[in-house]
Amino acid sequence: MSARPLILVTNDDGITAPGLRTLISVMNLIGDVVVVAPDSPQSAMGHAITINSTLHMEKVIIDGKQPEYSCSGTPADCVKLAVNEILDRRPDICVSGINHGSNSSINVIYSGTMSAALEAGIESIPAIGFSLLDYNWNANFEHCKTFVETITRQVLENGLPDGVVLNVNIPNLEKNAIKGIKVCRQARANWKEEFDKRTNPMGRDYYWLSGKFVNMDKGEDTDEWALENGYVSVVPVHFDLTAHHAIQNLNTWKLNN
Within 113-152, which residues bind a copy of itself (CB under 8 A)? 115, 118, 122-123, 150-151
Task: Determine, following the binding rule CB under 8 A, whether residue 188 of this chain makes contact with a copy of itself.
Answer: yes
148-187 binders of a copy of itself (CB under 8 A): 150-151, 154, 158, 160-161, 163-164, 167, 180-181, 183, 185-186
Euclidean distance between CA atoms 164 and 38, whole angstroms: 23
One residue of 4, 140, 193, 219 binding a copy of itself per CB under 8 A? 193
Q: Which is nearer to a copy of itself, 17 or 118 (CB)?
A: 118
Euclidean distance between CA atoms 217 and 230, whole angstroms: 17
Exposure b/e, 106-128, CB count within 10 A at least 16 = b = bbbeebbbbbbbbbbbbbebbbb
Task: Determine, following the binding rule CB under 8 A, whether residue 56 of this chain makes contact with a copy of itself.
Answer: yes
Task: Determine, following the binding rule CB under 8 A, whether residue 1 of this chain makes contact with a copy of itself.
Answer: no
> Please, are residues 74 and 49 in contact by the beta-carbon 8 Å criterion?
yes
35-54 binders of a copy of itself (CB under 8 A): 41, 43-52, 54
Task: Determine, following the binding rule CB under 8 A, whether residue 90 of this chain makes contact with a copy of itself.
Answer: no
Task: Determine, following the binding rule CB under 8 A, whether residue 17 of this chain makes contact with a copy of itself.
Answer: no
Euclidean distance between CA atoms 153 and 125, whole angstroms: 15
